[in-house]
Structure 1
Amino acid sequence: MGGTDVYGTHGTHAVVPIRKGAIMFAEELRRFPDVFQSPTPASLTLNPALSSPEERSRAVDDVLKTLQARGLVDGWRGELYPVAPSFHAPPLLSLERAAAVHFGIKAYGVHLNGYVRLPGSGALELWVATRSRLKPTWPGRLDHMVAGGQPQGLSCAANIEKECWEEAGVPAELARTAVPVGAVSYAARQAAGVKRDVLFCYDLELPLDFVPQPQDDEVEGFERWPLERVAEGVAGGERFKDNCNLVIIDFLLRHGYLGPDTPGYLELLTGLRSGDCS
């Protein structure tokens, strides 16, 4: 990303990227020198004395709980994200999900497009969720049928099955027919830091008579939309949760709704993996 970004590993020590929008948070971390040190003015690193993933995780968690009590870490989830250079690499530590954006770490999620194929024409329609207006993030916006962060200690397949039931009432035997179809990636600057995500994409063809039913309080309801309406909603840029746009565009490309003669086709293909996809 250029500038004063510092991200990666020095030996076994995770390095935190510092940006102008996160300077205040970085200064707060400097108040804990037993955990965070400053090898250069533009970076923080974990104390080398924290020599194992377990020690680092405990130390960082203690700091984050202190900052959360002071209102500096919002939306505490109680879910741990692994901090690692790539998805299958051993984690250097585990970090509370709500703090991921503050540190600019790469996080992972699963996003599923649930669709039906109409008899006769073969046209596809997507199930679209409306997020609860009580959610702290993107309240009332449109979403996939199923999506969720990828927590530590759970396979993507098991996570899809869990999220399918919790968010849409999809029974396990049907959820297991979801097909992994790739991934999209991005980096987005936010007030708290940099959100760096890799989203594993799944397609799930559903029976015509299946109607999703939310089992938790994250979704208000579902509607089934023709692809043309979905594409218009994405192009409008106002209705869908931002990262859902990418996964839907990927679906539209793969299923031929958008083709090489569509203006911007190659730019769309390139942009879907604009972040570090590793």
Structure 2
Amino acid sequence: MGYLDRIAACNNAKLGQFPTFKVAGQPYGYVLPSFAEQLACFPQVFNVTHNEVWLDNKLVDYNERTAAVMEVMRRLYQDKVLDSWVGENYPITHSFGGHAEFEVERAATSYLGIKNFGLHVNGLVKTAQGIKVWVGTRTLVKPLWPGKLDQMVAGGQPVGISVRHNMLKEAAEEANIPLELAQTAQHVRNIDYQQQGERGLDRSTIFVFDLWLPEHFQPVNIDGEVIKFELMTLEQMADLTERTTQFKDNCNLVNIDLLLRLGHISAQHPDYDMINKTLHARTPTHAH
């Protein structure tokens, strides 16, 4: 086990195994064959062949497409094909802030293999013993990654809100961080990854923020998604990242990036060059 294994776990996608999801002739995602079979039950919305799934060409209006697809996804959720429902809309797009074809429920993004976006905030503290990091433990009732370790603040990036305003909102909800303190957070990095799993394909961009906190600050969860916070040394966080799977998979990428930027993973590490190369090998995406 090691850092390279953590990066590889988030970049295990084999796109050739997936039928392509197309809208207006353009590829936007990749669908597991088993989910394509489910979509074939809705021929008025989806056309399905062995190699492709495409939105019916009669659906041309943004809102019309959104409503039609949303109805299908709600039916599939009611039939327990989709394992959760978040109530946040994500755009069908190639790039953040770019042209979007329609919107879809967040829980469906992996099933459709579309590009999606989220943000993670490193909660950092300078102490006499060195830099420490606030780490949250996800509630056991979360449908995904229950009980796993997570960044102090993290959340999806739905339509209708900027990345920065979303960060401020999530900081208040997840860690009760006052607005004036949260506003000092700096956007430092974007991390892209493509992870294949039971639901389908997670093709994600994480907008990474660093937030330096006073020593006396204690995060408190408000929205019920975190059961506890723990202040760790960089050494503790690094050891858990490198040697265990206690962190949620994509949180390991944020941890590794932080360890690189703070010099904790240095050029003396035997895998240093490969860690740098593989962590940031995918196409960058810009935050707005």
- Answer whether TM exceeds 0.5 for this pair: yes
% same residue: 39
- 1:88-117 CA-to-partner distances (Å, cap 9, x unmatched) read 212111010111111001110000000111
Q: Are residue 33 (structure 1) and residue 43 (structure 2) matched? A: yes
Q: Superposed, which structure 2 residues align to 1:59-208 within 5 Å?
A: 59-119=68-128, 123-208=130-215
Q: What TM-score, normalized by structure 1, do the two folds share?
A: 0.92
Q: What TM-score, normalized by structure 2, do the two folds share?
A: 0.89
CA contact (8 A) 2:19 2:33 kept: no
Which letter maps to 2:16? G
Change (3 A) 1:12 1:215: same
Change (3 A) 1:139 1:237: same
Q: Secondary structure at the match of 1:3?
A: helix
Matched residue, 2:222? 215
Change (3 A) 1:35 1:11: closer
CA contact (8 A) 1:16 1:44 kept: no
Q: Are residue 272 (structure 1) and residue 282 (structure 2) matched? A: no
CA contact (8 A) 1:82 1:95 kept: yes
CA contact (8 A) 1:128 1:143 kept: yes
Could you tell me how far apart the structure 2 residues matched to 1:9 and 1:191 are? 21
Q: Which of residues 65, 84, 88 in structure 2 aligns to 1:56?
A: 65
Change (3 A) 1:37 1:218: same
Higher relative contact order (CA 8 A, sep 6+): 2
Which letter maps to 1:131? R
Q: Which range moves more in the overlay, 58-67 or 266-275?
A: 266-275
Which letter maps to 2:270? P
